[in-house]
Amino acid sequence: MLLSLAYKEWIKIRWAYLVSLAIGLGIILSIFLNLRLLVEFNSLKELWNYIIFKNYLFYSQFRFIPLLIGLILGIAQFVPEIQNLRLKLALHLPIEETKTLFFMVFYGFALLTAIFLFFYLILVSISSSYFPPDITNTIFITLLPWYTAGYAVYFFASVIIIEQIWVRRISISLFAVLLISQFFHTMNHNAYIKIIIPIFLFVILLSTLIITSGYRFKRGLR
Amino acid sequence: MENVIEIKNLTHYYGEKKVYENLNFSLKEGRIFGLLGKNGTGKTTTINILTGFLKPKSGSCTIFGEESYRLSPETKSRVGFLIEGHVQYSFMNIIQIEKFYSRFYPNWKKDIYFELMSKLKVNRNQKLSKMSCGQRSQVALGLILAQDPDLLILDDYSMGLDAGYRRLFLDYLKEYSKTEGKTIFVTSHIIQDLDGFLDDAVIMDYNGVVTQVSIQDLKQSFSGFTFKTTEKVQLFKDNIIVNFEQIRNKMTVYSFKNEEEVKTHLSELKVEFSDFAKIHLDLEDSFIGLTGKY
């Protein structure tokens, strides 16, 4: 049954997913071309110094891409469910309702993880062809706040879209903006290293919020 | 026969606005049951409560003995639900949607679905969102029939359908219900279509249930009478006159009593009448007779 649910989710969001993939690859291509130009006009040593002492991030263009992808995926997955109250179809399937809702969010989370991992590996391979391991090794921890923002916006989108009470929608949206803005205060290497893991775990917990919106949807609270 | 649906003392309000109070009715296994009422009398509210998508203010609503808002997956698989407007996964095509639903239901009847689909003149790769309302209704019906549920809940199946599709929809449902012994609960705003289809009905008005009857009993016991009278006559609803309508000097009276009893009652009320005649009532006439035109 869960495989069947996965099949439905994939048919629903596959185009949005492919568009997200194209956007990400387009930005990474642009990053790569910029880097090649920089390498051509500067010595590698100069560039390394620039990265280490001036906090230059050659992939800073990628900063808001996970956020955008999380938003695209959240909208593509949950807006069709709420149009004509179509979510009733999923909640009437012979599965526990909480299981259905959790699975939908888990599926989106898994797709986000796959695409984020893919982009990370490309950035690592670009970096390792020009820079020493010390620089390449910082990519993961620098990307993590941006990826966390992508997950957060996805979870918030699922909750806000399914929520039927406008006051709650607005309150959750304000909280979402406040939380997500925290991930973009600085672009320094390893800036969030001390706090990112607890924040990441907190964001993962946001996935459970869909149950509260789903419950209110089920009880007909509008 | 077992009660498939039981509604007891159901009361619901939207804020301060009362929808109904102490609604009671039950639905027996194997019957085709209609919930009839004008717009705003609470049909959709009842369907929402019945399908577990609305918590009533008080009272109980059970399906196969389980509270409707806490149906187990096993019971849900016994209930086919058509959402108003034939809502389905419009981003899927005919093949994809069948593949999706078939894995949820152990008694899935693929043949019924594809038999209905073969009547549609559409490409199998065409998305539901690109189909006409009539075609989408056939997809929704095919999916419900293939599910092979014991109870079908159909919320305004007729919405957006032309006469041909409405007839096709009911013909399939009737055949299915009678041959398989299934129970159907249906609402529709086109009552004349349901004549000859329903076994029982609950008729709702703005103050709650007007009556719950078998259609056979309704046709036998509920009558309309016309007569000529003076334009000044004043009638009131009472235990004989269920409803009445006057256009100039022509009066129509509806009653569960026979012709003689109505005549006697009119005489007791000192109402002058002439050209007294009983009129044939179909289901829609009876509905109008019970609830009025306004």
Per residue in B172-184, pLDDT (tens digit) is 888 888 888 899 9
A88/B81 Cβ within 8 A:
yes
Residue B1 predicted with pLDDT over 70: no
DSSP state of B131: S
CA distance B290 to B285: 9
Question: Measuring CA to CA, which residue among A7, A212, A88 is closest to residue B71?
Answer: A88
On average, the pLDDT of chain A sits at 91
Nearest CB partner across the interface for B76, out of A86, A94, A218: A94
Residue where the block lists tokens 């997955």: A77
Q: What separation in angstroms does the CA of A37 have from each of A136, A189, B167? A: 19, 22, 70
A11/B103 Cβ within 8 A:
no
Per the CB < 8 A criterion, the answer to whether B62 and B10 are in contact is: no
CA distance A216 to A160: 12
Q: 3-state DSSP call for residue B277?
A: strand
A3/B103 Cβ within 8 A:
yes
CB atoms within 10 A of CB B169: 23
Q: Which residues of A touch B (CB under 8 A)?
A: 1, 3-4, 7-8, 11-12, 80, 84-86, 88-89, 91-96, 217-220
Q: State the best of A11, A17, A75, A96 to mutate against chain B, taking most chain B CBs within 10 Å.
A: A11
Percent of chain B past pLDDT 70, that is, above it, reads 98
CA-based nearest residue in chain A for residue B100: A4
Q: Interior CA angle at B281 toward B279 and B283, to 5°? A: 175
Least confident of A74-78, A156-160, B270-274: B270-274
Residues in B closer than 8 angstroms to A11, CB to CB, are: 89, 91-92, 96
Per the CB < 8 A criterion, the answer to whether B60 and B67 are in contact is: yes
Residues in A closer than 8 angstroms to B101, CB to CB, are: 4
Strand order in the sheet with B243-247: B243-247, B250-255, B223-228, B274-279
Q: 3-state DSSP call for residue B245?
A: strand
Backbone angles phi, psi at A48, to 5 degrees: -60, -45
B149/chain A closest Cα distance in angstroms: 12
Give this complex's ipTM.
0.87
pLDDT of residue A189: 65
Strand order in the sheet with B17-28: B17-28, B3-14, B58-63, B66-67
Backbone angles phi, psi at B148, to 5 degrees: 60, 50
DSSP state of B189: S
Residues in B closer than 8 angstroms to A7, CB to CB, are: 96, 99-100
B54/A92 Cβ within 8 A:
no
CA distance A87 to A8: 12
The helix-helix angle for B94-102 and A2-41 (nearest 10°) equals: 120
B48/A84 Cβ within 8 A:
no
Residue A186 predicted with pLDDT over 80: no
Q: What separation in angstroms does the CA of B54 have from each of A88, A172, B44, B73, B87? A: 11, 23, 10, 18, 18
A218/B52 Cβ within 8 A:
yes
B83/A84 Cβ within 8 A:
yes
pLDDT of residue A64: 95
Nearest CB partner across the interface for B104, out of A1, A85, A96: A1
A95/B73 Cβ within 8 A:
yes
Per the CB < 8 A criterion, the answer to whether B124 and B95 are in contact is: yes
CA distance B241 to B256: 8
Least confident of A22-26, A149-153, B224-228: B224-228
Backbone angles phi, psi at A106, to 5 degrees: -60, -40
A202/chain B closest Cα distance in angstroms: 31
Per the CB < 8 A criterion, the answer to whether B161 and B137 are in contact is: yes
Q: Region B245-273: what's the mean pLDDT?
A: 88
CA-based nearest residue in chain A for residue B149: A94
pLDDT of residue B274: 86
Q: State the best of B89, B97, B107, B147 to mutate against chain A, taking most chain A CBs within 10 Å.
A: B89
CA distance B235 to B286: 19
- Tell me the count of A-B CB pairs closer than 8 A: 70
Residue boundaries of the structural domains of chain B: 3-216, 222-291
For A79-83, the CB contacts below 8 A with 24+ separation are A79/A161, A80/A12, A80/B89, A80/B90, A80/B91, A81/A161, A81/A162, A82/A161, A82/A162
B81/A92 Cβ within 8 A:
yes
Residue B96 predicted with pLDDT over 70: yes
> Domain B3-216 is of which CATH architecture?
3-Layer(aba) Sandwich (3.40)
B53/chain A closest Cα distance in angstroms: 5
The set of residues, in sequence order, having a beta carbon less than 8 Å from that of B157 and lying 6+ positions away, is B82, B86, B137, B141, B166, B169, B186, B188
A4/B87 Cβ within 8 A:
no
CA distance B109 to B99: 12
A14/chain B closest Cα distance in angstroms: 11
- pLDDT classification of A6: cutoffs 50, 70, 90: very high
- pLDDT classification of B102: cutoffs 50, 70, 90: very high
Per residue in A8-57, pLDDT (tens digit) is 999 999 999 999 999 999 999 999 999 888 888 887 778 887 787 777 88
pLDDT of residue A197: 87
CA distance B40 to B292: 14
DSSP state of B158: T
Percent of chain B past pLDDT 90, that is, above it, reads 36
A219/B89 Cβ within 8 A:
no
A4/B103 Cβ within 8 A:
yes
Nearest CB partner across the interface for A219, out of B55, B96, B104: B55
Residues in A closer than 8 angstroms to B54, CB to CB, are: 219-220
Q: Region A159-184: what's the mean pLDDT?
A: 93
- Most confident range, picked from A13-27, A133-147, B21-35, B188-202: A13-27
Both ends of chain A: CA-CA distance in Å?
A: 30
Residues in A closer than 8 angstroms to B52, CB to CB, are: 218
The set of residues, in sequence order, having a beta carbon less than 8 Å from that of B56 and lying 6+ positions away, is B10, B11, B12, B49
pLDDT of residue B288: 87
pLDDT of residue B116: 87
Strand order in the sheet with B183-187: B79-82, B151-154, B183-187, B32-37, B200-205, B208-214
How is domain B222-291 classified at the CATH fold level?
Answer: Alpha-Beta Plaits (3.30.70)
A89/B79 Cβ within 8 A:
no
A170/chain B closest Cα distance in angstroms: 22
B273/chain A closest Cα distance in angstroms: 52
R_g of chain A computed on alpha carbons: 20
DSSP state of B218: H
Question: And the tokens for A31?
Answer: 């990053």
